[in-house]
Structure 1
């Protein structure tokens, strides 16, 4: 099982971003849905590696969060709320988010008591993806989002009012192809980390 504990960075000096984060995470399939657990902290329980990737992409793109991922067993039967859930994955997520708070530009950490080496690999790949997400400019994001929403790059260029060459250049500079090529690697590592 995968537990994500997400804590707002510098929450005492800024606005409460939890409602917007919960909206962003709402489409992600969960076993126990993401919810505010205490203060500016959000937690959710997942059983699918692709869903973990989807959640990480939301949180890491935003950049206002420290993210802890715990991988391991959870006591069953599951309660109705993640706040009442217990198990090693949740303990590992707590340890991970505490460590993530001390990280640099990309505040993400992964802990698995049973598979520490694979957890370290997951953390390295998640950190790489997070670095690419955080270094993308607003203009590059606008192009990436427009291309994702359009049937073709040419259509995206028309929507943006730029040339197709501008779109191609922005995509290349954004390193979106490199980032997305790493997604299957992260998913495979997550699946390996969860395997008994």
Structure 2
């Protein structure tokens, strides 16, 4: 089972409102269950698949105001492993995984998210607009028309935004999460590995 725990680390004075609105919006992502409010700053949820977990973590990373815990376990709910893993630094993903080979999967997944977080953090507003449109399913021509720019300008925005690096990192993260979920022990649970 896979779960995600997010802790708001932003500076908004109306934290409870921001967290509640965010939980409501994020729960509309495919494969994401409604969030549990753990505290004023903390929300967590179980997800249906590796891809749903990845998309949720990417949305939280893009915002930049969340400390994120990703939990993958065969024993109990994934949110408990995620809650054990979540840290306190914004835009950082910590991972708790019960696997046959402790440590490796959690460290590798956390490393990929650190790289993806760096790419997302460096992105300009124009880059965020461009990547958002392409991620939603538009091709470059359609996205360029939507933004009122040329196809060449759209291509340049995507390149400057690190779109290719994001896509490569996304695929690698998906493979690692899927592999970690498939590599769950069948016997009694050991402690979750933390990265």
TM tier, smaller:
0.7 to 0.9
Deviation at 1:36, TM superposition (A): 1.6
Q: Secondary structure at the match of 1:159?
A: helix
Q: Please state if 1:180 is matched with 2:181.
A: no
Which structure 2 residues correspond to residues 161-172 of structure 1 after superposition, within 5 A?
161-172=148-159
Of residues 95, 99, 104, the one that matches 1:117 is: 104
What do the CA deviations read for 1:162-182 (whole angstroms, capped 9, x no partner)? Answer: 222211111110111221122
Distance in 2 (CA, whole Å) between partners of 1:155 and 1:187 is: 27
Higher helix residue share: 1
Which structure 2 residues correspond to residues 113-152 of structure 1 after superposition, within 5 A?
113-114=98-99, 115-148=102-135, 151-152=138-139
RMSD between aligned residues: 2.3
Distance in 1 (CA, whole Å) between partners of 2:51 and 2:67 is: 20
Q: Please state if 1:24 is matched with 2:26.
A: yes
Q: Which runs of 5+ in 1 are unaligned?
A: 76-86
Distance in 2 (CA, whole Å) between partners of 1:149 and 1:12 is: 28
Cα distance, 1:126–1:150 mapped onto 2, change above 3 Å: closer
Q: Secondary structure at the match of 2:159?
A: helix
Q: Which runs of 5+ in 2 are unaligned?
A: 185-195
Distance in 1 (CA, whole Å) between partners of 2:31 and 2:88 is: 26
Q: Secondary structure at the match of 1:136?
A: coil
Distance in 1 (CA, whole Å) between partners of 2:136 and 2:80 is: 39
Distance in 1 (CA, whole Å) between partners of 2:138 and 2:165 is: 21
Cα distance, 1:26–1:180 mapped onto 2, change above 3 Å: same
Of residues 139, 146, 155, the one that matches 2:142 is: 155
TM-score by length of 1: 0.79
Cα distance, 1:150–1:179 mapped onto 2, change above 3 Å: closer
